[in-house]
Protein backbone atom coordinates (compact mmCIF):
# COMPACT_ATOMS: atom_id res chain seq x y z
CA UNK A 1 0.00 0.00 0.00
CA UNK A 2 1.26 3.50 -0.86
CA UNK A 3 1.03 5.96 2.00
CA UNK A 4 1.47 9.72 1.82
CA UNK A 5 0.88 10.38 5.50
CA UNK A 6 2.94 9.78 8.61
CA UNK A 7 1.00 6.86 10.05
CA UNK A 8 3.15 4.28 11.80
CA UNK A 9 4.33 1.13 10.08
CA UNK A 10 4.93 -2.36 11.41
CA UNK A 11 7.96 -2.74 13.62
CA UNK A 12 11.00 -3.99 11.72
CA UNK A 13 14.70 -3.84 12.49
CA UNK A 14 15.59 -2.47 9.05
CA UNK A 15 14.59 0.71 7.22
CA UNK A 16 15.28 0.87 3.48
CA UNK A 17 15.20 4.48 2.34
CA UNK A 18 15.11 5.55 -1.31
CA UNK A 19 15.86 9.23 -2.00
CA UNK A 20 13.90 9.41 -5.25
CA UNK A 21 14.52 11.75 -8.17
CA UNK A 22 14.86 9.82 -11.44
CA UNK A 23 12.28 7.43 -12.85
CA UNK A 24 14.54 5.73 -15.41
CA UNK A 25 15.41 2.69 -13.30
CA UNK A 26 13.01 3.12 -10.40
CA UNK A 27 10.77 0.26 -11.50
CA UNK A 28 13.75 -2.11 -11.52
CA UNK A 29 14.83 -0.87 -8.11
CA UNK A 30 11.40 -1.53 -6.61
CA UNK A 31 11.17 -4.87 -8.37
CA UNK A 32 14.36 -5.96 -6.63
CA UNK A 33 12.67 -5.13 -3.31
CA UNK A 34 9.52 -6.96 -4.33
CA UNK A 35 11.67 -10.04 -4.98
CA UNK A 36 13.27 -10.07 -1.55
CA UNK A 37 12.85 -13.47 0.07
CA UNK A 38 12.51 -11.71 3.42
CA UNK A 39 10.19 -8.69 3.57
CA UNK A 40 11.11 -7.81 7.15
CA UNK A 41 11.83 -4.15 6.41
CA UNK A 42 10.09 -0.80 6.27
CA UNK A 43 10.35 0.98 2.92
CA UNK A 44 10.45 4.76 2.59
CA UNK A 45 10.53 6.81 -0.61
CA UNK A 46 11.39 10.51 -0.33
CA UNK A 47 10.58 12.39 -3.54
CA UNK A 48 12.95 15.33 -4.02
CA UNK A 49 10.32 17.43 -5.87
CA UNK A 50 11.11 15.42 -8.98
CA UNK A 51 9.58 16.39 -12.35
CA UNK A 52 9.02 12.64 -12.86
CA UNK A 53 6.06 11.70 -10.68
CA UNK A 54 6.69 8.17 -9.31
CA UNK A 55 3.12 7.46 -8.20
CA UNK A 56 2.20 5.32 -11.20
CA UNK A 57 5.32 3.24 -10.72
CA UNK A 58 4.60 2.85 -7.02
CA UNK A 59 1.05 1.73 -7.76
CA UNK A 60 2.41 -1.23 -9.70
CA UNK A 61 3.83 -2.55 -6.43
CA UNK A 62 0.93 -1.74 -4.11
CA UNK A 63 0.14 -5.42 -3.52
CA UNK A 64 3.74 -6.39 -2.84
CA UNK A 65 5.40 -3.50 -1.03
CA UNK A 66 4.17 -1.40 1.86
CA UNK A 67 5.66 1.98 0.98
CA UNK A 68 5.65 5.17 2.97
CA UNK A 69 5.93 7.87 0.29
CA UNK A 70 6.45 11.58 0.83
CA UNK A 71 6.80 14.20 -1.88
CA UNK A 72 8.81 17.13 -0.58
CA UNK A 73 7.85 20.66 -1.62
CA UNK A 74 11.33 21.79 -2.63
CA UNK A 75 14.23 20.23 -4.46
CA UNK A 76 17.10 19.87 -2.03
CA UNK A 77 19.41 17.44 -3.82
CA UNK A 78 20.58 20.05 -6.33
CA UNK A 79 21.79 22.17 -3.40
CA UNK A 80 22.95 19.50 -0.97
CA UNK A 81 22.51 15.84 -1.79
CA UNK A 82 23.41 14.71 1.71
CA UNK A 83 20.75 17.05 3.12
CA UNK A 84 18.22 15.25 0.93
CA UNK A 85 19.41 11.92 2.30
CA UNK A 86 19.00 13.18 5.85
CA UNK A 87 15.59 14.67 5.08
CA UNK A 88 14.50 11.26 3.84
CA UNK A 89 15.80 9.65 7.01
CA UNK A 90 13.42 11.80 9.06
CA UNK A 91 10.62 9.72 7.52
CA UNK A 92 11.82 6.62 9.34
CA UNK A 93 10.63 5.37 12.70
CA UNK A 94 13.07 3.88 15.19
CA UNK A 95 14.46 0.99 13.15
CA UNK A 96 17.95 0.24 14.52
CA UNK A 97 19.40 -0.43 11.05
CA UNK A 98 19.20 1.70 7.90
CA UNK A 99 20.02 1.24 4.23
CA UNK A 100 19.94 4.16 1.78
CA UNK A 101 19.21 2.64 -1.61
CA UNK A 102 19.75 4.82 -4.68
CA UNK A 103 16.80 4.83 -7.08
CA UNK A 104 18.81 3.21 -9.88
CA UNK A 105 20.55 0.45 -7.90
CA UNK A 106 19.31 -3.10 -7.30
CA UNK A 107 19.41 -5.74 -4.58
CA UNK A 108 19.76 -9.45 -5.17
CA UNK A 109 16.83 -11.43 -3.67
CA UNK A 110 18.54 -12.45 -0.42
CA UNK A 111 20.04 -9.13 0.72
CA UNK A 112 17.53 -8.63 3.53
CA UNK A 113 17.50 -12.31 4.45
CA UNK A 114 21.29 -12.36 4.73
CA UNK A 115 21.21 -9.32 6.99
CA UNK A 116 18.98 -11.13 9.46
CA UNK A 117 21.02 -14.32 9.11
CA UNK A 118 24.16 -12.43 10.16
CA UNK A 119 22.54 -9.94 12.52
CA UNK A 120 23.39 -11.75 15.75
CA UNK A 121 27.08 -11.87 14.85
CA UNK A 122 27.01 -8.27 13.63
CA UNK A 123 25.61 -6.97 16.89
CA UNK A 124 27.74 -9.33 18.99
CA UNK A 125 30.82 -7.58 17.59
CA UNK A 126 29.27 -4.12 18.08
CA UNK A 127 29.45 -3.47 14.34
CA UNK A 128 28.13 -0.10 13.16
CA UNK A 129 28.55 -0.53 9.38
CA UNK A 130 27.77 -3.56 7.20
CA UNK A 131 29.07 -3.84 3.64
CA UNK A 132 27.68 -6.14 0.93
CA UNK A 133 29.39 -7.73 -2.03
CA UNK A 134 28.76 -5.71 -5.18
CA UNK A 135 28.78 -5.82 -8.93
CA UNK A 136 28.65 -2.87 -11.32
CA UNK A 137 25.95 -2.96 -14.00
CA UNK A 138 25.26 -0.71 -16.98
CA UNK A 139 22.11 1.10 -18.08
CA UNK A 140 20.72 -2.15 -19.47
CA UNK A 141 21.35 -4.03 -16.25
CA UNK A 142 24.24 -6.01 -17.72
CA UNK A 143 27.28 -6.67 -15.52
CA UNK A 144 30.37 -4.65 -16.42
CA UNK A 145 32.59 -5.65 -13.51
CA UNK A 146 33.55 -8.65 -11.48
CA UNK A 147 31.83 -9.38 -8.17
CA UNK A 148 33.62 -7.51 -5.37
CA UNK A 149 33.79 -9.48 -2.13
CA UNK A 150 35.47 -8.64 1.15
CA UNK A 151 36.82 -10.31 4.30
CA UNK A 152 34.07 -11.04 6.81
CA UNK A 153 35.37 -8.70 9.50
CA UNK A 154 38.14 -6.16 9.04
CA UNK A 155 39.06 -2.81 10.58
CA UNK A 156 38.07 0.30 8.67
CA UNK A 157 41.73 1.11 8.03
CA UNK A 158 41.89 -2.03 5.84
CA UNK A 159 38.60 -1.20 4.17
CA UNK A 160 40.01 2.25 3.39
CA UNK A 161 43.19 0.76 1.93
CA UNK A 162 41.28 -1.78 -0.15
CA UNK A 163 38.92 0.90 -1.41
CA UNK A 164 41.53 3.38 -2.60
CA UNK A 165 44.83 1.57 -3.05
CA UNK A 166 43.89 -1.98 -3.98
CA UNK A 167 41.31 -3.66 -6.19
CA UNK A 168 38.25 -2.42 -4.30
CA UNK A 169 35.25 -0.18 -4.76
CA UNK A 170 32.53 1.41 -2.66
CA UNK A 171 29.23 3.25 -2.99
CA UNK A 172 26.30 4.26 -0.83
CA UNK A 173 23.74 1.56 -1.56
CA UNK A 174 25.76 -1.49 -0.52
CA UNK A 175 26.00 -0.39 3.10
CA UNK A 176 23.76 -0.71 6.14
CA UNK A 177 24.47 1.31 9.25
CA UNK A 178 23.09 1.72 12.74
CA UNK A 179 20.75 4.51 13.67
CA UNK A 180 22.94 5.25 16.67
CA UNK A 181 26.03 5.83 14.52
CA UNK A 182 24.07 8.03 12.12
CA UNK A 183 22.51 10.10 14.90
CA UNK A 184 25.94 10.59 16.46
CA UNK A 185 27.77 11.64 13.29
CA UNK A 186 25.34 12.43 10.47
CA UNK A 187 26.45 12.92 6.88
CA UNK A 188 28.97 15.59 5.94
CA UNK A 189 27.75 18.22 3.48
CA UNK A 190 30.14 18.06 0.52
CA UNK A 191 29.56 19.09 -3.12
CA UNK A 192 27.88 16.35 -5.19
CA UNK A 193 28.03 14.24 -2.00
CA UNK A 194 31.39 13.16 -3.45
CA UNK A 195 33.08 10.96 -0.83
CA UNK A 196 30.19 11.68 1.56
CA UNK A 197 29.73 7.93 1.95
CA UNK A 198 33.48 7.43 2.52
CA UNK A 199 33.41 10.06 5.25
CA UNK A 200 30.33 8.37 6.71
CA UNK A 201 31.78 4.87 6.98
CA UNK A 202 34.93 6.36 8.50
CA UNK A 203 32.86 8.37 10.99
CA UNK A 204 30.20 5.75 11.73
CA UNK A 205 32.73 2.96 12.30
CA UNK A 206 35.12 5.22 14.19
CA UNK A 207 37.82 3.10 12.54
CA UNK A 208 36.42 0.01 14.22
CA UNK A 209 35.44 -3.17 12.39
CA UNK A 210 33.30 -3.40 9.26
CA UNK A 211 31.24 -6.56 8.73
CA UNK A 212 30.93 -7.83 5.16
CA UNK A 213 28.21 -10.04 3.69
CA UNK A 214 29.29 -11.88 0.54
CA UNK A 215 26.35 -14.24 0.01
CA UNK A 216 24.10 -11.55 -1.47
CA UNK A 217 24.79 -8.77 -3.95
CA UNK A 218 24.03 -5.09 -4.35
CA UNK A 219 24.16 -3.99 -7.98
CA UNK A 220 25.58 -0.50 -8.49
CA UNK A 221 24.44 1.04 -11.76
CA UNK A 222 26.89 3.01 -13.86
CA UNK A 223 24.96 4.85 -16.56
CA UNK A 224 24.78 8.22 -18.28
CA UNK A 225 22.22 9.26 -15.65
CA UNK A 226 24.30 9.12 -12.48
CA UNK A 227 26.82 11.41 -10.84
CA UNK A 228 29.58 8.81 -10.97
CA UNK A 229 29.84 8.90 -14.75
CA UNK A 230 33.27 9.91 -15.98
CA UNK A 231 32.30 13.06 -17.88
CA UNK A 232 30.33 14.76 -15.10
CA UNK A 233 31.77 17.60 -12.94
CA UNK A 234 35.29 16.20 -12.99
CA UNK A 235 36.92 19.31 -11.50
CA UNK A 236 34.55 19.24 -8.53
CA UNK A 237 35.12 15.52 -8.04
CA UNK A 238 38.90 15.81 -8.07
CA UNK A 239 38.79 18.80 -5.73
CA UNK A 240 36.66 16.86 -3.25
CA UNK A 241 38.90 13.80 -3.54
CA UNK A 242 41.85 16.06 -2.80
CA UNK A 243 40.07 17.48 0.26
CA UNK A 244 39.10 14.01 1.45
CA UNK A 245 42.66 12.66 1.43
CA UNK A 246 43.95 15.85 2.99
CA UNK A 247 41.40 15.41 5.78
CA UNK A 248 42.48 11.81 6.34
CA UNK A 249 46.15 12.80 6.43
CA UNK A 250 45.54 15.70 8.79
CA UNK A 251 42.96 14.26 11.16
CA UNK A 252 42.90 10.45 10.87
CA UNK A 253 46.48 9.37 10.32
CA UNK A 254 46.75 8.04 13.89
CA UNK A 255 44.28 5.32 12.90
CA UNK A 256 46.38 4.20 9.92
CA UNK A 257 49.48 2.05 9.63
CA UNK A 258 52.69 3.68 8.44
CA UNK A 259 52.50 2.07 4.99
CA UNK A 260 48.93 3.32 4.60
CA UNK A 261 49.93 6.86 5.54
CA UNK A 262 52.71 6.76 2.95
CA UNK A 263 50.17 5.72 0.30
CA UNK A 264 48.01 8.71 1.20
CA UNK A 265 51.01 11.06 1.04
CA UNK A 266 52.06 9.68 -2.33
CA UNK A 267 48.55 9.96 -3.72
CA UNK A 268 48.19 13.56 -2.58
CA UNK A 269 51.53 14.43 -4.13
CA UNK A 270 50.49 12.80 -7.41
CA UNK A 271 47.27 14.81 -7.42
CA UNK A 272 49.10 18.10 -6.93
CA UNK A 273 50.96 17.45 -10.16
CA UNK A 274 48.08 16.05 -12.18
CA UNK A 275 45.50 18.68 -11.34
CA UNK A 276 47.60 21.76 -10.62
CA UNK A 277 46.31 22.04 -7.07
CA UNK A 278 49.01 24.32 -5.74
CA UNK A 279 47.78 24.78 -2.19
CA UNK A 280 50.52 25.96 0.11
CA UNK A 281 49.03 24.52 3.28
CA UNK A 282 48.68 21.10 1.69
CA UNK A 283 52.18 21.11 0.22
CA UNK A 284 53.43 22.12 3.66
CA UNK A 285 51.57 19.15 5.17
CA UNK A 286 53.02 16.78 2.58
CA UNK A 287 56.48 18.21 3.30
CA UNK A 288 56.36 17.49 7.03
CA UNK A 289 54.57 14.14 6.72
CA UNK A 290 57.10 13.02 4.11
CA UNK A 291 59.90 13.91 6.51
CA UNK A 292 58.17 12.11 9.38
CA UNK A 293 57.18 8.91 7.61
CA UNK A 294 59.55 8.61 4.64
CA UNK A 295 62.76 10.21 5.90
CA UNK A 296 65.15 12.93 4.77
CA UNK A 297 66.23 11.33 1.50
CA UNK A 298 62.65 10.98 0.30
CA UNK A 299 61.94 14.52 1.46
CA UNK A 300 64.77 15.79 -0.74
CA UNK A 301 63.32 13.81 -3.65
CA UNK A 302 59.90 15.32 -2.98
CA UNK A 303 61.31 18.86 -3.03
CA UNK A 304 63.09 18.10 -6.30
CA UNK A 305 59.93 16.67 -7.90
CA UNK A 306 57.96 19.66 -6.68
CA UNK A 307 60.47 22.06 -8.21
CA UNK A 308 60.47 20.21 -11.54
CA UNK A 309 56.70 20.05 -11.76
CA UNK A 310 56.23 23.69 -10.75
CA UNK A 311 58.89 25.12 -13.03
Please state the domain extents for the chain. Answer: 14-221, 234-309
Q: What is the mean pLDDT of the chain?
A: 92
Looking at the predicted structure, is the pLDDT value of residue 113 above 50?
A: yes
Distance CA 116, CA 256 (A): 31
Q: What is the pTM of this model?
A: 0.91
Return the percent helix, strand and coil in the chain, to nearest 5: 45, 20, 35
pLDDT in tens, 12-55: 999 999 999 999 999 999 999 999 999 999 999 999 999 999 99
For 216-246, write each residue's pLDDT tens digit.
999 999 988 777 777 788 889 988 998 999 8
The pLDDT value recorded for residue 276 is 62
Sorted by sequence, the CB contacts under 8 Å of residue 63 that are 6+ apart come out as none
Question: How would residue 2 be classed by pLDDT, with cut points 50, 70 and 90?
Answer: very low
DSSP structural state of residue 232:
S
Examine the pLDDT at 296 and tell me if it is beyond 70: yes
At 279, is the pLDDT very low, low, confident or very high (cuts 50, 70, 90)?
low
Q: What are phi and psi of 223, to 5 degrees?
A: -140, 180
What per-residue string of b and e applies to 247-265 under the rule 16 or more CB within 10 Å gives b?
Answer: ebbeebbebbeeebbbbbb
d(CA 227, CA 210): 26
pLDDT at 281: 67
What CATH topology corresponds to 14-221?
A: Spore Coat Polysaccharide Biosynthesis Protein SpsA; Chain A (3.90.550)
- What Å distances lie between residue 176 and 35, 111, 115, 116, 127, CA to CA? 19, 11, 9, 12, 10
- 76 pLDDT exceeds 80? yes
Amino acid sequence: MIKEDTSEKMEHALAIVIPYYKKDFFNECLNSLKNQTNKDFNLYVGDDASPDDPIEVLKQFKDDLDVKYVRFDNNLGSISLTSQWMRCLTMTLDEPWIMILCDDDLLSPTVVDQFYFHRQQIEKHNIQVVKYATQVIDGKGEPISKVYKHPRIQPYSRVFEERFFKDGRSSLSEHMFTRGAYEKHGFRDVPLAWHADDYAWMDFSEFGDIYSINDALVFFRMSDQNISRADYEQITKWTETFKYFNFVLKHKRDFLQKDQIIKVIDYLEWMTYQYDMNKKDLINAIFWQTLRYKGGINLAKFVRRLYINRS
